[in-house]
Every structure is written in structure tokens, then in C-alpha cells.
Chains A and B, each alone.
Chain A
Amino acid sequence: MHSEYPPTLPAEYADIEFENNAQRMPLVLCLDTSSSMAGQPIQALNNALAEWTRELHDDVSLSYSVEVAVVTFGGQGVGAWRGPQLLDPRARMSPFIPAHAFQAPQLMAAGVTLMTEALELAMHIVAARKSELRASGLQYYRPQICLVTDGLPTDPTGHLTDSWHRLVPVLAEEQRARRFRLYAIGVGGITDMGEQVLRAFAPKFNARLQGFPFRELLQMMSASANAEQKGAGDEVFEKIFSQFKTQRPAWEA
């Protein structure tokens, strides 16, 4: 761990036993891996995930607190990843893994864009994780879900669908009840229509970015996680996000 802090305990206190009961901060990356992401975009995403993972491991304050889960939508449907491992949907294993142990998956791009179903899965795993944490007597911060896409929601046959409308009131209520913070980010060649979908999902934290700035995006998620740990007010998250949208490094301010 990189830190100016003493890595070891003073001898007088070396016998203290600690449980790992850091307050947890569930973070879901809900990533578009449909065919439009093939080639350079998915490569950029994989590289950014690997680099972010290294930074996360080095961050003393986030590495034992943040728990990462990855949800992808592409191929034939949606998938939940526990680190590098795609989970069998029938297995009842939580996809959340502590940041210090997280390893980035190698994602491939192909297939359809089940964005609605992916967000439903993200909400489901967040709710399930909160129950687990409560049952284990662990405290937690407000979770973050980050949706990243370059397209529009489709059905399982790849045709555009309006089924995402069903999600809008659900997400509105979940965000009103502060069950999580949702970020919805459009990248690459996302259309006006695509941007409208993201705006409907996440009225506060939506953005349409040039190219595929995944690195900045993931750094923004870390900055927001830090702000959450600090107990920052909503205005701080909005500032971090607006600086991210204009692609200036807010977290260095």
C-alpha cells in the first residue's frame, strides 16, 4: 500500500486484533459489451479497468471499503462478474468482491444491448448485498451504480425496444429513496435518442462524452466514492460530476 503512514503497528500495540469490519461501499460497473463496442472501444475499456484496479489496490482508504461488482450487457444477454469470473446465473454467489482483491475481467464485445435487464440486475445485486451486509452486522455507504453505453436498449433479438420505459419510474423512486447513486454515461457514437434514455434513467448524473474516456470515468467513480466516505453533500457529487463531464480532473481540485 502506498502511504506515508506507518505500515505496521507500534510494538506496544502489535497484539491488537482487528476484524475486517470496514464500512462497505458497493460499486457496480454496468457496462455495455454489445457489438457496437467491438474493437478499439472494448480494448480501451479493458485497459482502463486494469489500470483502475491497480490504483484501487494502492488506495489505502478505498481498498478495504469499496466492493466492486461488474454487470455486462452484450452477447446473448446480461452477466454478472465476480472479478475476472463470469458467474453462472444459477449460482447464488455474490458478484461483489473487496477492491483490494478485485481483478479486472477481460471483456469481449458482441451481440445485443439488454440495457434495461442489466440495470435491473444491478439494482437486484445491490439490494441483495445490502441485506448480506446488514445480516453480517456491517455498516455501508450509499452504493454507486455506473451505467456505461454507446447505444440504445434492444430486445434479445437485437431490435430497438421501448421496454426501458418501465424502468424510469422504478429508478426515480429508488434514487428518491437514496438506495444508490446512479450514473449513466454515454460514450462513442451514442445518439441523441441514446442520450435521452440516459437522462431519463439518471436525471442528475448523466453525460454524453466524446470518444471512450473510460479512465477518467473510473477515476470519477473513485472520487465519488471518496466523497461518499467523507459524508459530502449532494453539491460535492454534482461538482465532481460536472467537472468530469467537461473532462477536467475535478478530483485534483
Chain B
Amino acid sequence: MTAAQPWRIHGLSVEGYRHRRQGLPCQDACAYATTSSVAVLAVADGAGSRPRSEEGARLAVKLAAEHFARRAKAAVEVQPGEAVHELLRDALRDVSEDFLDRTGADAQDFATTLTVVVLAPGWIGHLTVGDGFVVVRAGTEDGERQFHLLPQAAAASEYSNETVFLTSPDVARWTHTECVSDDGVDGVLLSTDGLAQAMLNRPAGGAQSPNTSFADAVFRSLDTATEDSPDTNLAALLRSDRLTALNADDKTLLRAVRTHVR
């Protein structure tokens, strides 16, 4: 990462209690790519029920980093709004086609969700297939940092463990895109559903909102991190019994914070 990069980025995926106990690999993955003008962040959650979902998740984030960065770099002058939504959908189409080309007739065995954020000068694009989610940090109120959950696609089913995959038929219909143009955003985190219970509160009858104490702690640790220091404490947090009790699935946290004080 060069000093010119406006974002410091760090991501990790850890295997959940259930996979660890069964000796199975982590089926989550995350990746990012930076160009001179944009950064692309991607997380994926391979479907537990499919035999090659671990590879599917890794392939999905790799392809997303490539294709979204290429599209975004070529369109860096694009204005916030419809053009961004279009760019995101075009890039997803590239990813889907490439994914299906590489996985062939067995594509369903690689089923995975995919959540992508593009950080461009002037706008932030968000696209999600399935139940990954994005929380941003922006602004302060009464001296407290404010956190916002970006809008998500509607749930695919009554049951929380059923979702939509990159390989699902008619995936475009289930894809949700957002364009945020707020210069006040100085932190972005992406996660898979393994952290949904820890990171999001669901008040009775109200909308979901970020768990402020969790979001604040994980952004703060990246704000103060030194270059290239392995974040062993964060891995320990994600593997802790406290989080396992809330969700025993694999967990992924991909964070980006602005590197300079605004």
C-alpha cells in the first residue's frame, strides 16, 4: 500500500466453531484491490450445503476485486446516482459470467453469496447478492461516532439461513445496489451473515441498526493499527465463545478506514 492511498484496508475470515469441530475449512472469503483512484472490497460466504463452496467464495471475491476495479477505474469520473448502479450491475454481470465460465456445469457446487463495496472519489457503491452486509462510519452526534447499516436486499425466506447465491437463477432480480455520496464516511466494513447477530441489533418492531460498541471497537483498532501488523486480537475476538454463542458460522470482517485526519 502506498502512502497516497486514502484508505487503510484490512480483512480476515475465520472458520466458525462448527467447521472447526468438524475439521472443515472456512467457507468465507474476503479480498480487496486498490488502483490509483479506487478501492474495491469484497466478502463472500460459501453455501454450507454445497461441496465446493469454499472454492466458490474465494473465486467470487477474487473475480469481484478484478472486475469491479476494472469497471470502476474506467469510469472514475462517473457521477453518483444511476450511473453508479449501472456500473455495479455491469461489473456483477462480468463476475457472474467469469464465475460460470470457470465453474462450468458444476457451478451450483460452488454456490456463494457476494457483497462488494467500491470506494471511489465522490461516491461509494455497494452491491450485494445474498445476506452479507455493510456498515459505514460517518459523522458524530453529541461527540459519539455514528454508524449506519446500508440498506439490504429483502430476505429470501422466512428462515434466516436461506439466502440467494451468485449461482442462483435470476440472480439480477435479487441483487441490491446502493450509491452513497457522503464525504463524511471515513470507515466502511463488510461482513458475512456470521457476524449479523453480533454486529446488528434488531429492536422489537424496529429497523436493524449497527451495534455501536462493536462497530466502534473494530474501526478504532484499524484507525490505530500500525502498518502490516497481524491483528491477532481481532481473530481471537471472532473466535471467542461470546461470538460463537450468537452464531457458530464462519466469520468475516473486511474493514477500510480513511488514513488521514479530515
**Which residues of A approach B to under 8 Å, CB–CB?**
1, 3-13, 15-23, 60-61, 63-65, 135-142, 178, 226, 228-233, 236
Contact = CB atoms under 8 A, between A and B. Distances in A.
A230 B18 contact: yes
Given A17-B211, A22-B247, A232-B48, A12 B240 contact: no
Contacts of A10: 233, 236-237, 240
Given A6-B240, A10-B237, A64 B221 contact: no
A61 B20 CA distance: 12
A195 to B, nearest CB: 30
B233 A5 contact: no
Interface of B: 16-18, 20, 47-49, 158-163, 196-198, 201-206, 208, 211, 213-214, 217-218, 221, 233-234, 236-237, 239-249
Nearest to B244: A60
B160 to A, nearest CB: 4
A13 B203 contact: no
A60 to B, nearest CB: 5
A231 B204 contact: no
A18 B214 contact: yes
A7 B248 contact: no
B16 to A, nearest CB: 8
B223 to A, nearest CB: 12
Contact of B205 (A17, A63, A137): A137
B198 A18 contact: yes
Which 10 interchain pairs have the tightest Cβ spacing? A61-B248, A137-B202, A139-B160, A230-B48, A10-B233, A64-B245, A231-B161, A233-B49, A231-B48, A13-B237
A136 B204 CA distance: 4
B242 A18 contact: yes
Contact of A137 (B203, B217, B234): B203
